[in-house]
């Protein structure tokens, strides 16, 4: 609608101001009674050296289109009242015929790399990793909707000095059977013990350093242990990914770049970017940033070195248009530093974006999975699904497949709770709140969708793509919301912000539920089909929103 109005204004104004600018200026009037769209004339007034009130009046007289019911000047604004029926007929039949493919951009042949989840081997999957997983998955889905191919990479933390410690700890205290049973918990236990013992026994740290060196040099025994730790941990992570319905194209972690790091160092040397600092090799980043550490005194590489090697590999291997790194805000400095090193090396750093996010809180405090008492994420998810089952059985005791639905609702609740907020905000993890069927929750959106399905079944609805006959005042708000779906996806992509989709789905759900309050749906007359068709289209869009967020949409609940 905005594009249509902008085009019309553009033509009427004889191209005095460009169409994109006009479109940006268009706003929603404060009240529905004032119109559907408003064009403020201030900027134009400056340009034309006329009064905005005069311009508005003049424009209101000139503008005409079949899709516009009325144009009125209201002071310095031109207010448009649109013709509901032609607008409804440009979108509803398209949604009905295209289904899930509606508003999917044609494949553009370009790739975007999304680095997300990326937990650390032999450590618990933290709440931060959960956020990264959920946000990264949604960004990948949205990119695909926009026509890109998303390359989903789980950059596992499977390399680094901590593996030296783990190897030493394992040799001293490891219990293979216990590790097979509960890999991460056991490995974490001996890792914590290592730190305790190292305070008393100073030789342990040196042993660990040597063990990591052996690992980096390809020592078979060290490598064998490392592989065991990695596989055992992955098995546990995969349980979580399965629950969440998350998939990756690559689980190449930090270790994968082991043989690609010499090249980074060589390129840095060739460009004379490396300097020595207390025996370590660093890239100086001037006044604004601390130097980026590339190699330790003993030659061991670092997290940033591996990220640089991975960046070059990804550029060359995928030739992507953009690379997103969905990682918590506490790593902002790390990304700023190595992005700058990449730029100094002559690579196009403008393609790279760190996508930070806030913390997960419980009762206002950071939900930590570290420091002894480990909250295992799998337990938290199971608890949520159990609570979802209780709620569902209370509401609908005869529901078939209640276990499947409980999983869809429980997991959906966790995902939606994460994604409805602006990424950078901290979010509260309250199982009770995220599961309410009223309010801003995943189950609320899922329930709104399921309720439409029930209505359609009751009416024995058959979808067809014939034009609608009439759109009254009760249906019009729904059409207006549906019309903004496509623009919402584009915004969610450019801002790398899935909350745009979540908020849209809430707005659509609220509008649907308000509609029920104003208008009986099943009236058994010839207006019924139009109402059901619009609701059917709305359910297709709700389902799309949920799926883009990585959430399933049960037809019954």
Nearer to ligand ARG, 132 or 539 (CB): 132
Q: Could you say which DSSP state residue 330 is in?
A: G
Give contact residues for ligand ARG (rule: CB under 6 A).
Answer: 115, 118-120, 155, 157, 307, 325, 327
Least separation in angstroms between residue 527's CB and ligand ARG is 55
Least separation in angstroms between residue 486's CB and ligand ARG is 32
Q: How far apart are CA 156 and CA 117, in angstroms?
A: 8
Nearer to ligand ARG, 115 or 497 (CB): 115
Nearer to ligand ARG, 313 or 516 (CB): 313
Question: CB–CB of 158/230 below 8 Å?
Answer: yes
SS3 string, 468-500, reads CCCCCCCCHHHHHHHHCHHHHHHHHHHCCCCHH
Nearer to ligand ARG, 355 or 479 (CB): 355
Nearer to ligand ARG, 96 or 255 (CB): 255
User: Residue 274: which region, alpha, beta or left (left: phi > 0; alpha: psi -120 to 50)?
Assistant: beta
Q: For residues 73-85, b (16+ Cβ closer than 10 Å) or e, as one string? A: beebbbbbbbbbb
Least separation in angstroms between residue 270's CB and ligand ARG is 24
Phi, psi at 34, each rounded to 5°: -80, -15
User: Facing residues of 360 across strands?
Assistant: 427
Least separation in angstroms between residue 149's CB and ligand ARG is 20
Nearer to ligand ARG, 246 or 512 (CB): 246
Q: Which residue has the tokens 């649907």?
A: 512
Q: Is 352 helix (H, G, I), strand (E, B) or coil?
A: strand
Least separation in angstroms between residue 51's CB and ligand ARG is 56
Q: How far apart are CA 204 and CA 210, in angstroms?
A: 10
| Closest chain position to ligand ARG (CB) | 157
Q: Is 446 helix (H, G, I), strand (E, B) or coil?
A: helix
CA of residue 495 relative to chain centroid, distance: 10
Nearer to ligand ARG, 170 or 325 (CB): 325
Least separation in angstroms between residue 338's CB and ligand ARG is 9
Least separation in angstroms between residue 318's CB and ligand ARG is 14
Nearer to ligand ARG, 204 or 377 (CB): 377
Nearer to ligand ARG, 78 or 302 (CB): 302
Nearer to ligand ARG, 119 or 356 (CB): 119
Least separation in angstroms between residue 138's CB and ligand ARG is 17
The C-alpha angle 281, 283, 286, rounded to 5 degrees, equals: 140
Least separation in angstroms between residue 81's CB and ligand ARG is 51
Least separation in angstroms between residue 157's CB and ligand ARG is 3
463 contact partners, CB below 8 Å, separation of at least 6: 96, 533, 536
- Side by side, the strands of the sheet bearing 149-153 are 149-153, 111-115, 322-326, 352-355
Q: Is 274 helix (H, G, I), strand (E, B) or coil?
A: strand
Q: Could you say which DSSP state residue 323 is in?
A: E
Question: CB–CB of 167/215 below 8 Å?
Answer: yes
Instruction: State the distance between the two ends of the chain, measured CA to CA, in whole angstroms.
Output: 35
Least separation in angstroms between residue 155's CB and ligand ARG is 4
Q: How far apart are CA 351 and CA 494, in angstroms?
A: 13
For residue 236, give both structure tokens: 């546990």
Nearer to ligand ARG, 115 or 440 (CB): 115
Question: CB–CB of 358/285 below 8 Å?
Answer: no
């Amino acid at each position: 609608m905005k594009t249509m109005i902008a085009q019309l204004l553009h033509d009427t104004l004889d191209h005095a101001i460009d169409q994109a600018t006009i479109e940006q200026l268009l706003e929603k009037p404060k009240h529905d009674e004032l119109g559907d769209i408003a064009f403020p004339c201030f900027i134009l007034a400056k340009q034309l050296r006329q009064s905005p009130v005069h311009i508005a009046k003049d424009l209101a007289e000139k503008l005409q289109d079949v899709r516009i019911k009325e144009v009125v000047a209201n002071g310095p604004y031109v207010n448009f009242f649109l013709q509901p029926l032609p607008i409804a007929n440009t979108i509803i039949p398209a949604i009905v015929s295209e289904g899930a493919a509606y508003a999917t951009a044609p494949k553009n042949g370009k790739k975007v790399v999304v680095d997300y989840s990326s937990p650390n081997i032999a450590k618990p999957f933290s709440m931060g990793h959960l956020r990264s997983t959920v946000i990264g998955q949604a960004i990948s889905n949205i990119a695909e909707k926009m026509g890109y191919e998303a390359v989903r990479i789980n950059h596992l933390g499977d390399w680094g000095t901590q593996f030296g410690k783990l190897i030493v700890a394992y040799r001293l205290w490891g219990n293979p059977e216990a590790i097979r049973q509960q890999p991460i918990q056991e490995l974490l236990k001996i890792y914590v013990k290592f730190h305790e013992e190292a305070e008393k026994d100073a030789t342990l740290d040196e042993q660990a350093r040597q063990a990591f060196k052996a690992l980096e040099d390809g020592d078979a025994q060290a490598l064998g242990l490392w592989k065991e730790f990695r596989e055992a941990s992955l098995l546990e992570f995969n349980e979580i990914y399965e629950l969440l319905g998350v998939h990756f194209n690559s689980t190449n972690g930090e270790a994968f770049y082991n043989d690609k790091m010499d090249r980074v160092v060589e390129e840095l040397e060739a460009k004379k970017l490396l300097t020595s600092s207390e025996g370590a090799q660093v890239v100086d980043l001037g006044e604004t940033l601390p130097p980026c550490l590339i190699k330790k005194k003993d030659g061991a590489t670092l997290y940033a070195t591996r990220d640089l090697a991975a960046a070059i590999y990804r550029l060359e291997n995928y030739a992507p248009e953009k690379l997103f790194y969905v990682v918590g805000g506490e790593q902002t400095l790390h990304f700023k530093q190595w992005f700058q090193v990449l730029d100094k090396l002559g690579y196009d750093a403008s393609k790279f974006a760190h996508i930070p996010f806030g913390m997960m809180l419980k009762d206002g405090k950071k939900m930590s999975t570290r420091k002894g008492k480990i909250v295992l994420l799998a337990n938290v998810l199971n608890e949520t699904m159990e609570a979802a089952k209780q709620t569902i059985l209370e509401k609908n005791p005869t529901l078939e497949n209640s276990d499947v639905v409980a999983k869809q609702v429980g997991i959906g609740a966790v995902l939606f709770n994460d994604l409805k907020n602006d990424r950078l905000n901290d979010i509260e993890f309250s199982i009770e709140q995220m599961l309410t069927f009223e309010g801003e929750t995943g189950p609320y959106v899922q329930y709104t969708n399921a309720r439409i399905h029930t209505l359609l079944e009751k009416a024995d609805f058959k979808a067809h793509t014939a034009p609608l006959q009439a759109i009254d005042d009760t249906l019009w708000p729904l059409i207006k919301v549906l019309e903004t779906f496509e623009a919402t996806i584009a915004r969610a992509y450019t801002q790398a912000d899935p909350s745009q989709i979540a908020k849209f789905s809430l707005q659509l759900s609220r509008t649907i539920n308000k509609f029920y309050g104003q208008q009986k749906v099943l009236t058994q007359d010839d207006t019924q089909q139009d109402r059901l068709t619009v609701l059917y289209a709305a359910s297709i869009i709700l389902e799309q929103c949920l799926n883009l967020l990585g959430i399933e949409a049960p037809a019954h609940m």
